[in-house]
Structure 1
């Protein structure tokens, strides 16, 4: 069985946001899948997906702090600045974290670890 669904997520501020519940709720057919794969692909160049800690929000805070230090918005050598100082860092983050995620499905549920969740990382502030 193959199914393709477009999921529209609400806009979010720059940072790391746990979206597992939204993704699962948007795909009711997931509950009918005994064994399979869920492939997520962002159709955006300044956001990313990753799988990480789903329990302690401090992990998301710390990842955001790390990323902002790694790729700040005011690097003087960035040329792509027409869309704002946060745009080029967003492109860098999308390349670092990726815009696709493939997860196992087992017994009608995502087969993730106990403490794993899907994170959306929109890097642009607008």
Structure 2
């Protein structure tokens, strides 16, 4: 059993979904591990990860609008030290996930035809988000 670890940073300039599939694909392809499991981990509490459709961009815009409705910005939160978008960002992150597990076979991730891995930025202002990739396998 072998394992490999890699970190990368993704800059965001707004709220929304940012495709990080290519970074994960390059990492997996370069490790020489034919079969295993890739863990993708976001090291933040106001951003998260999702696997979602990559073909129709309206899926992403509909998701973004949905999360705006269920956790709206405003001054009605007790936690507001970092601005009106901070607590809603934590709520949105709690409803998604900080990590994903993706099977690997033949040295490639087994994502479905229309699936991609997205960093889901929940804050309005620009951020630099650190993502950790951990691959275990043979």
Normalised to the residue count of structure 2, the TM-score between the two structures is: 0.83
Instruction: Give 1:1-126 correspondences, 5 Å limit.
Output: 1-30=2-31, 32-74=32-74, 76=76, 78-126=77-125
Contact 1:15 1:121 in 2 (8 A): yes
Per-residue deviation, 1:75: 5.7
SS in structure 1 of the partner of residue 101 of structure 2: strand
Contact 2:28 2:107 in 1 (8 A): no
Q: Distance in 1 between matches of 2:14 and 2:28?
A: 24
Greater RCO, 1 or 2 (C-alpha within 8 Å, sep 6+): 2
Going by fraction, where is strand more abundant, 1 or 2?
2
What do the CA deviations read for 1:39-65 (whole angstroms, capped 9, x no partner)? 011111100001110111110000001
Contact 1:7 1:23 in 2 (8 A): no
Normalised to the residue count of structure 1, the TM-score between the two structures is: 0.91
Per-residue deviation, 1:26: 4.5
Which runs of at least 4 in structure 1 moved beyond 3 Å after TM superposition?
none
Contact 2:28 2:108 in 1 (8 A): no
What do the CA deviations read for 1:47-94 (whole angstroms, capped 9, x no partner)? 000111011111000000111011100161x11111011111110111
Gaps spanning 5+ residues in structure 1: where? none
Aligned CA RMSD, in angstroms, stands at 1.4
Going by fraction, where is helix more abundant, 1 or 2?
1
